[in-house]
Amino acid sequence: MSQIRAKNEAIIIRAASRVFAEYGYAATKTATIAELAGLPKPNIYYYFGSKAKLYRAVLESITEPLLAASEPFLAHQDPVQALTAYIKAKLAISQDYPFASKVFASEIMHGAPHLPADIIERLQGQTRTLTQRLNDWMAQQLMLEVDANHLLFAIWASTQTYADFNWQIRMALDKKELDEQDFEQAAQLITQLVLGGCQVQSLPNANCEIK
């Protein structure tokens, strides 16, 4: 792949993410994407072939970060550390990929009609891994016995909402844009709800690293 192709594809994906996020797939005009990208419309078709293929490319661009967000969950043995890091990672996605997140959310909301089957499977596999981990901790008495699935739904919803329903949140906070501090407050609150609500305990033999 040529340099110029790679560069233009990146520009188009970026522009497309913003426009698809703002208007939704059907209401998005390829002309709008082209305009925002600073390119003539046929270039979009030259690089991506069709609106639908471009849309899939946008969906795929968010897949890796999304799957990577669960790494902290597996990296930490300690449930307090793992859950704290997971919530932070999930919020970071809302903060760092606000447009792609919304596109993804909109896709899920309408039953994922365009989401490739392999992505669905990878996400499902991740869900199973996470619930299993939570259930292990419960069996070890490191947290209260709750339904692991519903706990995950609550974490997903309350972290994604900062991207998906950004408008509503900005209205309530009376702010033009959410800043770093808002996300930190969100992280603190959600972490408090999860750790406090489920009485999550640190590992007895936790290695308390001094930073």
Regarding 10 and contact with DNA (CB under 7 A), the answer is no
Return the range that interacts with its own copies (CB under 8 A); candidates 38-46, 48-56, 67-75, 171-179: 171-179
Contacted entry of its own copies, DNA, none for residue 172, CB cut-off 5 to 8 Å set by kind: its own copies
Regarding 23 and contact with DNA (CB under 7 A), the answer is no
Size of the site for its own copies (CB under 8 A): 53
**Residue 106: CB minimum distance to its own copies, A:** 7
* Burial class of residue 15, CB neighbours in 10 A (0-12, 13-18, 19+): buried
Regarding 25 and contact with its own copies (CB under 8 A), the answer is yes
> Which position among 1, 2, 3, 26 is part of the footprint of its own copies (CB under 8 A)?
26
d(CA 155, CA 91): 10
Contacts of 185 (CB under 8 A, 6+ apart): none
Binding mask 110-129 for its own copies (x = CB under 8 A): xxx-------x---x--x--
Contacted entry of DNA, its own copies, none for residue 23, CB cut-off 5 to 8 Å set by kind: its own copies
**Residue 5: CB minimum distance to DNA, A:** 4
Regarding 63 and contact with DNA (CB under 7 A), the answer is no
- Closer CB to its own copies, residue 77 or residue 199? 199
- Closer CB to its own copies, residue 62 or residue 151? 151
Size of the site for DNA (CB under 7 A): 19
Regarding 51 and contact with DNA (CB under 7 A), the answer is yes
- Closer CB to DNA, residue 52 or residue 144? 52
> 3-state secondary structure string, the chain?
CCHHHHHHHHHHHHHHHHHHHHHCCCCCCHHHHHHHHCCCHHHHHHHHCCHHHHHHHHHHHHHHHHHHCCHHHHHCCCHHHHHHHHHHHHHHHHHHCHHHHHHHHHHHHCCCCCCCHHHHHHHHHHHHHHHHHHHHHHHCCCCCCCCHHHHHHHHHHHHHHHHHCHHHHHHHHCCCCCCHHHHHHHHHHHHHHHHHHCCCCCCCCCCCCCC
Regarding 69 and contact with its own copies (CB under 8 A), the answer is no
